[in-house]
């Protein structure tokens, strides 16, 4: 089964690397946050005696790249329909659940590559300089990328109306990002926001990255949860979302209308 | 015969009873070779409609079999079930020896599938598309490359290896799509309306490709079409209407069973002409301004007809029947009666 999966990943990579503009904008977005919101908030907080806000949002921005990169890549499964690739995939000799699995994997890889590139930029700028646990950073990036990809495929196989990019952006990506502790510590939020952040699996991915880069930082800007808890939540959530996607896509009631659409969107 | 006239030997031309009789006739003898496709009472029902209604098919290996019918007659659904993409709600089918219900993956391993719209990535080159398709079929790279070269030669695409698919002409894209469908040497190739949108030259060359594939690889082809002039090239055809096979046979048999001649009478009031001539030539079939009569008398001449014609008639034409006539009789013959 590795050969088809590798082919699907390679196609996705080729596509990602060919679209330079998109790749660059994926890196510029977090840097923009770093130098606008990061600088602005830090200036504001310095009066209050806190001086590390820019370092604080670095793990959040890495997670942001994963969220946009991996989730959008897995959502692009929807666009495979139009490109004809989905026809090749459904005719291929393996169970249809593998299509979802391969798309999930390729999306996670795309997110990871973007995160690695951003890490290099951040390291060059001196933001990943001291007290960074490389192993934990790697584990955090890999698992969070998988999580974002699995949320993406779950949306892709669940909804019919997700051709609408703006809807996904406003109702999924932004809420997941803002309610995650990427921009502010979860522990000091009001109870209702804290609850939302606690049920958002992405929060734990962000927290894992905080453990990697902010372990030395004392509260209130340090990590909110334990590493074990982060790992557990992130892996269980991404496994569950992936499994649900595979099962859903394999159902006749979901798959057959897709096959019909691919064969003839107009008649029959 | 009163009410339900039956022309020739094979084709029922009027009334559902004649259809049932046709359905009950025993299978034609098709040699001793194994069947590549067998369907028995294959059905697909949705909540409120029956898309495919108890279809029976037997396609021997190496045959080119045509499934003919208007849009919505169930051709695509039939192909989907046979290709393991859709689960039948009734009946059984075996393709290349595998049960489509129980072994859909094994079925897909042994078939090629060409959809109405191309299954190609427009952003990749010809070579890259075939490499991708081959990898999906788990083909080893060296074997795959040999096969790609072979097929590009066969389909006349060897000079377009590195061209992006988006830049290919419609005919070339279709040829590439068929090459993609047979890349893994499937035993059965399903083609769903492969010639829609192609000009006559490209349609012709596509059929040549299919003939060559059959010759060189003994592949079995199941093709749906509504171009009747193409169906002639099939070894055997089945006509589908509202999810049912209403008749099948070789194109020659079907045409012969319609009669010796078709008499076309054209006029401003075809209904009046049809009524007037019914007593002499049987029930006519009105197509636009023409009325078609099937004549089952080998010695029939236009002179005989001339005596019956009146001033309403603008033109007459006596000719041999063709598959288009068979189609009209089958598809429109009942529609007239039912409506």
Least confident of B18-32, B116-130, B132-146: B18-32
Helix (H) or strand (E) holding B208: helix B200-217
User: Do A268 and B121 lie within an 8 Å CB cutoff?
Assistant: no
Residue that wins the pLDDT comparison between B21 and B150: B150
Q: With 0-12 CB in 10 A as exposed, 13-18 as middle and 19+ as buried, what is B53? A: buried
Q: Which of A1, A87, A264 sits opposite B119 (nearest CB)?
A: A87
Share of chain B above pLDDT 70, in %: 87
User: Do B72 and A84 lie within an 8 Å CB cutoff?
Assistant: no
3-state secondary structure of B246: strand
Angstrom distance (rounded) from CA A48 to CA A250? 55
Q: Is B188 on the interface with A (CB under 8 A)?
A: no
Q: Is B115 on the interface with A (CB under 8 A)?
A: yes
Mean pLDDT for B44-73 is: 90
Helix (H) or strand (E) holding B261: strand B261-267
The ipTM, to two decimals, is 0.85
Share of chain B above pLDDT 90, in %: 38
Q: Collect all residues of chain A within an 8 Å Cβ-Cβ radius of residue B124.
A: 11, 14
pLDDT at B80 over 60: yes
pTM above 0.80, yes or no: yes
Angstrom distance (rounded) from CA A167 to CA B276? 66
**Nearest alpha carbon to residue B8 among B337, B324, B255:** B255
User: Do A83 and B109 lie within an 8 Å CB cutoff?
Assistant: no
The residue among B87, B121, B136 with the most chain A CBs within 10 A of its CB, best to mutate, is B136
Q: Collect all residues of chain A within an 8 Å Cβ-Cβ radius of residue B75.
A: 268
DSSP β-ladder status, B188-192 and B220-225: parallel
Q: What angle do CA B295, B296, B297 make, to 5 degrees?
A: 100
Helix (H) or strand (E) holding A179: none
User: Do B80 and A260 lie within an 8 Å CB cutoff?
Assistant: yes
User: Do B77 and A268 lie within an 8 Å CB cutoff?
Assistant: yes
DSSP B63-103: -EEEEE--TTSSHHHHHHHHTTSS--SEEEEEETTEETTT-
User: Do A84 and B118 lie within an 8 Å CB cutoff?
Assistant: yes
Chain B residue closest in CA terms to A80: B121
Residues 6+ apart with CB under 8 A from B266: B289, B290, B291, B313, B314, B315, B316, B317
3-state secondary structure of A135: helix
**Nearest alpha carbon to residue B191 among B300, B283, B82:** B82
Angstrom distance (rounded) from CA B75 to CA B69? 7
List, in sequence order, every residue forming a beta bridge with B57; answer none if it has no partner: B39
Mean pLDDT (chain B, rounded): 82
Angstrom distance (rounded) from CA B250 to CA B236? 4
Q: With 0-12 CB in 10 A as exposed, 13-18 as middle and 19+ as buried, what is A27? A: middle
User: Do A88 and B133 lie within an 8 Å CB cutoff?
Assistant: yes
Chain A residue closest in CA terms to B70: A268
Q: Which of A156-160, B27-31, B34-38, B294-298 has the highest mean pLDDT?
A: B34-38
CB of B88 within 8 A of CB of B81? Answer: yes
In b/e form, how buried is each residue of B284-296, taking b as 16+ CB within 10 angstroms? Answer: bbeeeebbbbbbe
In b/e form, how buried is each residue of A171-196, taking b as 16+ CB within 10 angstroms? Answer: ebbeebbebbbbbbbbeebeeeebeb
Is residue B273 very low, low, confident or very high in pLDDT (cuts 50, 70, 90)?
A: confident
Domains in chain B: ranges and CATH: 31-254 (3.40.50.300), 260-320 (3.30.70)
Cβ neighbours, 10 Å, residue A18: 10
pLDDT of residue A230: 94
Q: Collect all residues of chain A within an 8 Å Cβ-Cβ radius of residue B112.
A: 91
Q: Which of A1, A87, A264 sits opposite B76 (nearest CB)?
A: A264
Q: Is B113 on the interface with A (CB under 8 A)?
A: yes
Give, for all 268 residues of chain A, the pLDDT tens digit. Answer: 889 999 999 988 888 888 888 888 888 989 998 888 888 888 888 777 666 788 888 899 999 999 988 888 887 787 787 778 889 999 999 999 999 999 999 999 999 999 999 999 998 888 877 778 889 999 999 999 999 999 989 888 887 655 566 677 778 888 999 999 888 888 888 999 999 999 999 999 999 999 998 877 776 778 888 999 999 999 999 999 999 999 999 988 888 888 888 887 543 3
Whats the size of chain A, residue-wise?
A: 268
Residue numbers of B between 240 and 269 with CB closer than 8 Å to A: none
**Whole-number Cα distances in Å, B272 to A20, A106, B12, B309:** 71, 68, 24, 11
pLDDT at B14 over 70: no
| Centroid of chain to Cα A257 | 28
Number of Cα atoms under 13 Å in the Cβ half of residue B93 = 31
User: Do A263 and B86 lie within an 8 Å CB cutoff?
Assistant: no
Angstrom distance (rounded) from CA A135 to CA A119? 14
Is residue B319 very low, low, confident or very high in pLDDT (cuts 50, 70, 90)?
A: confident
3-state helix, strand, coil in chain B (%, to 5): 40, 25, 35
Is residue B28 very low, low, confident or very high in pLDDT (cuts 50, 70, 90)?
A: very low
Angstrom distance (rounded) from CA A33 to CA A46? 18
Q: Where are the alpha helices (DSSP H) in chain A?
A: 2-18, 20-33, 39-46, 53-75, 77-83, 85-91, 97-124, 134-158, 165-168, 174-178, 191-199, 201-214, 227-250, 252-263
pLDDT of residue B335: 47
CB pairs under 8 A between A and B: 97
**Whole-number Cα distances in Å, A224 to A132, A166, B28, B311, B330:** 17, 31, 76, 97, 74
Q: What is the pLDDT of residues B81-97, one digit of tens each?
A: 999 899 999 999 999 98
Mean pLDDT for B17-26 is: 41
Residues 6+ apart with CB under 8 A from B208: none
Angstrom distance (rounded) from CA B307 to CA B301? 11
Closest chain B C-alpha to A63 CA, distance in angstroms? 30
pLDDT of residue A104: 94
Q: Collect all residues of chain A within an 8 Å Cβ-Cβ radius of residue B105.
A: 93-95
Chain B residue closest in CA terms to A265: B117
Q: Is A253 on the interface with B (CB under 8 A)?
A: no
Helix (H) or strand (E) holding B145: helix B141-154
pLDDT of residue B1: 33
pLDDT of residue A133: 87
Q: What is the pLDDT of residues B219-251, one digit of tens each?
A: 999 999 878 878 888 999 999 988 999 888 898
pLDDT at B317 over 50: yes
Chain B residue closest in CA terms to A84: B119
Q: With 0-12 CB in 10 A as exposed, 13-18 as middle and 19+ as buried, what is A161? A: exposed
Residue numbers of A between 83 and 122 with CB closer than 8 Å to B: 83-85, 87-95
User: Do B108 and A7 lie within an 8 Å CB cutoff?
Assistant: no
User: Do A7 and B135 lie within an 8 Å CB cutoff?
Assistant: yes
Angstrom distance (rounded) from CA B206 to CA A128? 60
Query: Please, what is the angle between helix B141-154 and helix B126-136, to 10°?
Result: 130
pLDDT at B26 over 60: no
List, in sequence order, every residue forming a beta bridge with B51; answer none if it has no partner: none
Residue numbers of B between 157 and 186 with CB closer than 8 Å to A: 180
């Amino acid at each position: 089964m590795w050969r088809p999966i590798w082919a699907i990943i390679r196609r996705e990579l080729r596509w990602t690397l060919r679209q330079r503009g998109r790749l660059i904008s994926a890196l510029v977005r977090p840097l923009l946050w770093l130098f606008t919101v990061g600088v602005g908030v830090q200036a504001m907080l310095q009066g209050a005696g806190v001086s590390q806000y820019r370092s604080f949002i670095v793990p959040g921005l890495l997670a942001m790249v994963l969220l946009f990169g991996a989730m959008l890549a897995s959502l692009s499964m929807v666009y495979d329909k139009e490109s004809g690739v989905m026809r090749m995939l459904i005719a291929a000799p393996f169970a249809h659940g593998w299509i979802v699995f391969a798309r999930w994997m390729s999306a996670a890889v795309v997110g990871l590559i973007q995160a690695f590139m951003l890490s290099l930029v951040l390291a060059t700028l001196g933001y990943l300089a001291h007290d960074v646990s490389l192993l934990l950073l790697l584990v955090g990036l890999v698992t969070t990328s998988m999580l974002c990809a699995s949320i993406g495929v779950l949306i892709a196989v669940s909804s019919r109306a997700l051709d609408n990019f703006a809807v996904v952006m406003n109702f999924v990506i932004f809420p997941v990002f803002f309610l995650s502790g990427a921009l502010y510590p979860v522990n000091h939020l009001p109870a209702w926001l804290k609850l939302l952040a606690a049920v958002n699996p992405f929060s734990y991915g962000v927290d894992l990255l905080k453990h990697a880069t902010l372990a030395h930082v004392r509260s209130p800007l340090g990590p909110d949860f334990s590493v074990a808890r982060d790992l557990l939540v992130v892996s269980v959530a991404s496994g569950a979302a992936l499994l649900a996607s595979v099962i859903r896509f394999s159902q006749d009631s979901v798959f057959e209308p897709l096959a019909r659409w691919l064969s003839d969107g107009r008649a029959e | 015969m009163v009410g339900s006239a039956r022309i020739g030997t094979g084709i029922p031309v009027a009334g559902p009873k004649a259809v049932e009789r046709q359905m009950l006739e025993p299978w034609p003898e098709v040699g001793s070779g194994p069947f590549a496709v067998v369907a028995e009472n294959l059905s697909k029902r949705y909540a409120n409609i029956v898309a495919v209604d108890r279809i029976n098919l037997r396609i021997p290996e190496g045959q080119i079999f045509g499934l003919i019918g208007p849009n919505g007659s169930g051709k695509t659904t039939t192909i989907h079930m046979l290709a393991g993409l859709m689960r039948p709600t009734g009946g059984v089918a075996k393709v290349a020896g595998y049960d489509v219900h129980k072994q859909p993956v094994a079925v897909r391993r042994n078939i090629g599938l060409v959809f109405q719209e191309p299954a190609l990535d427009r952003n990749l080159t010809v070579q890259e598309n075939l490499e991708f398709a081959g990898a999906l079929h788990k083909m080893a790279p060296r074997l795959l490359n040999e096969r790609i070269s072979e097929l590009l030669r066969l389909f006349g695409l060897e000079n377009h290896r590195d061209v992006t698919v988006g830049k290919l002409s419609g005919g070339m894209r279709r040829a590439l799509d068929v090459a993609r469908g047979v890349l893994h040497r499937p035993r059965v190739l399903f083609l769903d309306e492969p010639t829609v949108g192609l000009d006559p030259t490209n349609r012709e060359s596509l059929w040549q490709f299919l003939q060559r594939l059959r010759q060189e690889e003994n592949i079995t082809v199941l093709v749906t079409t509504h171009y009747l002039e193409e169906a002639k090239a099939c070894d055997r055809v089945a006509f589908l209407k509202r999810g049912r096979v209403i008749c099948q046979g070789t194109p020659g048999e079907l045409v012969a069973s319609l009669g010796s001649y078709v008499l076309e009478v054209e006029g401003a009031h075809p209904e009046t002409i049809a009524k007037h001539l019914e007593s002499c030539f049987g029930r006519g079939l009105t197509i636009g301004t023409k009325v078609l009569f099937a004549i089952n008398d080998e010695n029939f001449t236009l002179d005989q007809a001339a005596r019956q014609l009146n001033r309403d008639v603008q033109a007459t034409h006596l000719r041999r029947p063709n598959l288009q006539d068979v189609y009209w009789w089958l598809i429109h013959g009942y529609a007239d009666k039912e409506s």
